[in-house]
Amino acid sequence: MSYKELKREVFEANMELQRRNLVIYTFGNVSQIDRDKGVVAIKPSGVAYEDMKVDDIVVVDLENTIVEGEMRPSSDTKTHTHLYRAFDSIGGVTHTHSTYATAWAQARQSIPCLGTTHADYVHGDITCTRDLTDDQVNGDYEEETGVQITDAYAERDPNAAPMVIVAGHAPFTWGKDAAQSVYHAALLEEIARMAYLTRTLDPQAAPLKQAVMDKHYLRKHGKNAYYGQS
Ligand SMILES: [Zn+2]
């Protein structure tokens, strides 16, 4: 894929964030990696969606050095590149401050799997990371935000839960490419909203039974998946 094509896909995915009402102003950013070239295209820092052009998208390498582009890359770039280095199966990353997902992050609560909508896309809870330590905040903050996420996945397959919420901050999602990471950001917001409403109606609402959780996840994603058209 040429840089131009990569930038075009990242531009379209960033614009989709706005169309799905997942961001306001300059909140949020989407990136995509070209593993063969070892480069990541990402939204420029502080540029409003309505003003953004394809050529504003910045291309960096996995050590965050700018390879192509006139603008500064998103301030969250180091979190994105950390995720690409740690999770070698992913191709796109999205960060938003979407309202309901961010509310769970601010409450520092993982989102329990309360129903099949959640179970269709994520196998188990949507994890809320631990808080950053003072040293992490005062050190390489955006890199350390990535470390918080990957620490939470030490025992977990990132593909079985392509979304996480960062304590006191907001969600990060990923997928096979930029577009799928945005799709997961939209799903997360809806799942977070449903979980919030459920726990408002019944603060003791129990998680879905493990057997149903497994059934719904595995019929879509397991090795013998049968949901949809093949
Ligand atoms: Zn943020």
Q: Tell me how far the alpha carbon of residue 98 lies from the centroid of ligand 1, in angstroms.
A: 10
Residue 203 CA to ligand 1 centre (angstroms): 28
- pLDDT for residue 30: 98
CATH code of residue 80: 3.40.225.10
Is pLDDT above 90 for 228?
Answer: no
Written as one string, the DSSP assignment of 147-173 is HHHHHHTTTS-TTTS-EEE-TTS-EEE
**Which residues have C-beta within 8 Å of that of residue 203, sequence separation ≥ 6?**
none
* Segments of the chain assigned E as strands: 29-34, 39-42, 58-61, 66-68, 92-95, 163-165, 171-175
Task: Determine the distance separating the centroid of ligand 1 and the alpha carbon of 166, expressed in angstroms.
Answer: 9
According to the model, what pLDDT value does residue 230 have?
A: 62
pLDDT of residue 222: 80
Q: Is residue 88 part of a domain?
A: yes
Mean pLDDT, the chain, whole residue set: 95
Give the catalytic positions in this structure: 120, 227
176 Cα to the center of ligand 1, angstroms: 21
Residue 229 placed within a domain: no
What average pLDDT does this structure show over 146-174?
97
The yes-or-no verdict on residue 201 having pLDDT over 90 is yes
Residue 49 structural domain: 3-221
Segment 136-164 shows an average pLDDT of 96
What is the average pLDDT across 157-162? 96
pLDDT at residue 125 in the model:
96
**Arithmetic mean of pLDDT, 28-44:** 97
State the helix-helix crossing angle for 141-152 and 77-86, rounded to 10 degrees. 40
Structural domain contains residue 168: yes
The answer to the question of residue 227 being in a domain is no
Which residues line ion ligand 1, judged by CB < 5 Å? 170
Q: What's the pLDDT at 225?
A: 83
Ligand 1 centroid–CA 106 distance in Å is 12
Report the domain count for the chain.
Answer: 1
Tens-place pLDDT, residues 79-110: 999 999 999 999 999 999 999 999 999 999 99
For 107-138, how does the pLDDT look when each residue is reduced to its tens digit (9 = 90+)? 999 999 999 999 999 999 999 999 999 999 99
Predicted model pTM: 0.95
pLDDT at residue 226 in the model:
84
Residue range 14-32, pLDDT digits in tens:
999 999 999 988 889 999 9
Instruction: Give the containing element (helix H, strand E) for 209.
Output: none
- Rounded to the nearest angstrom, the distance between the alpha carbon of 142 and the centre of ligand 1 is 10
Residue 174 lies in a domain: yes
